Amino acid sequence: MLTIDPQQLRDDIATLAQFVEPETPGTTRRAFTDTYRAGRVWLRERMQSAGLTVTQDASANLIGRRAGTTTAPPVLIGSHTDTVMGGGRFDGVIGVLGAIAVARALRDAGVVLRHPLEVVDFLAEESTPLGSLFGSTAMAQGFSAEFLARDVPGWGVVGDAIAGMGGDPSQLLHPLRRSGEIAAYLELHIEQGPVLEAAQVPIGAVTGIVGIRRADIVCTGRPDHAGTASMAVRHDALATVADIIRATEQAALARPGTVATVGSLHVAPNQTNVVPGQVRFSVEMRSLHWPEVLSMWDEIVAAIHLAGAQRGVAVQIGAYEDSAPLQFPVWMRQIVTQACGRFTHQVVELPSGAGHDGSMIGLIAPAAMIFVRTKDGRSHCPEEFAAHDDIVAGVNALLQAVLAIDARIEE
């Protein structure tokens, strides 16, 4: 069985980890910075040394391409190399360097695929004040003129930032690729959660990326003197929200595989000696199964109205924002499950609770992901860790999945 060179991959991960801001803890290589740019100069050289022809598209996605034997659309593999402030060494990185390791293994073994193979380092996946998921959004959807013209204090105009990375914002009003122009997309990523560690398996097959509903709610009661207003006469907005938070938690606990969070509270007047008069807060729900999100939301809305009525507090449910779940195609899931099964005694299938470049590319291409076990489920922090043997298992599964996609005769 064809496998990758584990030592070369270890060296590559160690070398990229040296391109960091020296003054911050952990790994800081934020998008659009000189450090990020320097890391990508090195990355371009690594792609070339693996036999790839490297270009940048209009969104400054770094793409290394290896020709196939047919005119079929390419199989795309990769992830991102930017980090959050004070992040870890593995998030995104193993997906890009793993993809280069796959290309290198194919080149060294003299294997030429039917499909061209493209290794991608997507521009700016992590959140910055400018936004997130830049490269994959440009590829799958494009941007509005307003978004490209946004001027963010300290970071500049969005379009200028993309141009500064070598992109061409004038070409980004339309998607860079259309449905059918990518044969399949595969992304290897750390899990950033506890499932694989608990199951004691190195890697897992991702079933899809959860959908999210976020809503803003305002509860308006009456601010009163915290000493003189007896408990019976109060219309306490924060106590009302406490009831709602409890109901939100219950709604998710009653539905395995779902999560719900009240993560943001703005209390007015927010003073020790005043009964809270008004609270603005968020409710966020996630599930791979959209009907679960909808039924959770119905239950939470009922709880909001009930809590408001019981305490004489007015409730106002504002506009909500939805992002639909992305279920990976069954045939892609089967390929990834089989590929993972060669490197783990038991294949665990799990959804991704976080967004990834795959969430965008999955809109225009058959996509799937492989997760690597993450120590204590931690990421976006200096403690983020994945064992090298686990990463190697993931990259080898990625290689087997690429071979299986290439061997597949499309109906």
Indicate the residue among 118 and 187 with the shorter CB distance to Zn ion.
Answer: 187
Q: How far is the CB of 92 from Zn ion (least distance, A)?
A: 4
Label residues 282-292 b or e (16+ Cβ within 10 Å = b).
bbbbbbbbeeb
Indicate the residue among 113 and 140 with the shorter CB distance to Zn ion.
Answer: 140
Label residues 155-194 b or e (16+ Cβ within 10 Å = b).
bebbbebbbebebebeebeebbbeeeebbbbbbbbbbbbe
Q: How far is the CB of 355 from Zn ion (least distance, A)?
A: 9
Helix axes of 330-341 and 388-407: crossing angle, nearest 10 degrees:
130
**264, two tokens:** 């943001």
Amino acid identity of residue 51, one-letter, is: G
**2, two tokens:** 């064809």
**Interface with Zn ion: number of residues (CB under 5 A):** 2
Q: Which residue is nearest to Zn ion (CB)?
A: 92
CA-to-CA dists, residue 74 to 27, 116, 123, 276, 403, angstroms:
32, 5, 19, 58, 13
Indicate the residue among 280 and 356 with the shorter CB distance to Zn ion.
Answer: 356
Indicate the residue among 77 and 241 with the shorter CB distance to Zn ion.
Answer: 77
Q: How far is the CB of 220 from Zn ion (least distance, A)?
A: 39
384 binds Zn ion (CB under 5 A): no
Q: How far is the CB of 273 from Zn ion (least distance, A)?
A: 45
Q: How far is the CB of 371 from Zn ion (least distance, A)?
A: 11
Indicate the residue among 78 and 276 with the shorter CB distance to Zn ion.
Answer: 78
The span from the CA of 54 to the CA of 65, in Å, is 6
Q: How far is the CB of 80 from Zn ion (least distance, A)?
A: 6
List, in order, residues 6 or more apart from 248 with CB less than 8 Å away.
260, 261, 262, 283, 300, 303
Q: What x/- string results for residues 41 through 80 when contact with Zn ion is judged by CB under 5 A?
A: ----------------------------------------
Indicate the residue among 56 and 83 with the shorter CB distance to Zn ion.
Answer: 83
> For residue 122, which phi and psi values (nearest 5 degrees)?
-70, 140
Q: What x/- string results for residues 83 through 102 when contact with Zn ion is judged by CB under 5 A?
A: --------xx----------
> For residue 119, which phi and psi values (nearest 5 degrees)?
-105, 125
Indicate the residue among 30 and 66 with the shorter CB distance to Zn ion.
Answer: 30
Which residues in 113-132 contact Zn ion (CB under 5 A)? none
The span from the CA of 401 to the CA of 234, in Å, is 62
Q: How far is the CB of 200 from Zn ion (least distance, A)?
A: 24
Contacts with Zn ion, residue ranges (CB under 5 A)? 91-92
